[in-house]
Amino acid sequence: MLEIIYQDDNMVAINKPSGLLVHRSMIDKYETQFALQQTRDQIGQHVYPVHRLDKPTSGVLLFGLNSDAARKITEQFTERTVAKNYLAIVRGHTQEQETIDYALKEEYDKMTDRNIDKNKAAQPAITVYTRLQTIELDYPTGRYQTSRYSLLSLQPKTGRKHQIRRHMKHIFHHIIGDTTHGDGKHNQLFRDKFDCHRLLLHSNSLQLIHPYTGENLVINAALDDDLKRLFSAVGLESPN
């Protein structure tokens, strides 16, 4: 059963597990489990996607419960008035705060994006982060005898594909568990020492205006048991 973290007559939000696709996609054509269908079956009514969350990313995933609500919520995402916050464990000790302003070229999938203009200019992309905690583990990586990591709170101000993951790669503080944009040595360390086989990126809150009441709505997604176990194992305090 999926964890439902918010529901009213017009919308429902779940705490999506890492590894679950939002909806059917040719990118993973053999996948049989999808958040959209599972949520629909669990609550017994049709749901409408209003934003995306990468398959390996966990956390807040919001759906509309009717087409009008979905349209109004999607407009807020399109207009960038929805505040999104993520937690991530990254390699190295980062700055205490930083604004990453680095334009990103479109990422294309060979199967689904064959007709897209691949010469499109890089699009503006901004991510702000705050460092919450740091740790140093007594395990060597590369030429270093210990391994340093930071827990970050991140707010993407734009919505480019894999934006947070690509921005962290750009500043050489790759997210642990990222097999596409990450650092293989650190990913392997977490697999070997902590049995961690997932991306350490979690959407822990969404803040938006309710499309009908006008109230400021904050939807929070707690860390799942596996992430809590990992935080404890590496010596990080759980932020929620």
Active site residues: 54
Q: What is the 3-state secondary structure (H, E, C) of the chain?
A: CCEEEEECCCEEEEEECCCCECCCCHHHCCCCCEHHHHHHHHHCCCCEECCCCCCCCEEEEEEECCHHHHHHHHHHHHCCCCEEEEEEEEECCCCCEEEEECCECCCCCCCCCCCCCCCCCCECCEEEEEEEEEEEECCCECCECCEEEEEEEEEECCCCCCHHHHHHHHCCCCECCCCCCCCHHHHHHHHHHHCCCCCCEEEEEEEEECCCCCCEEEEECCCCHHHHHHHHHHCCCCCC
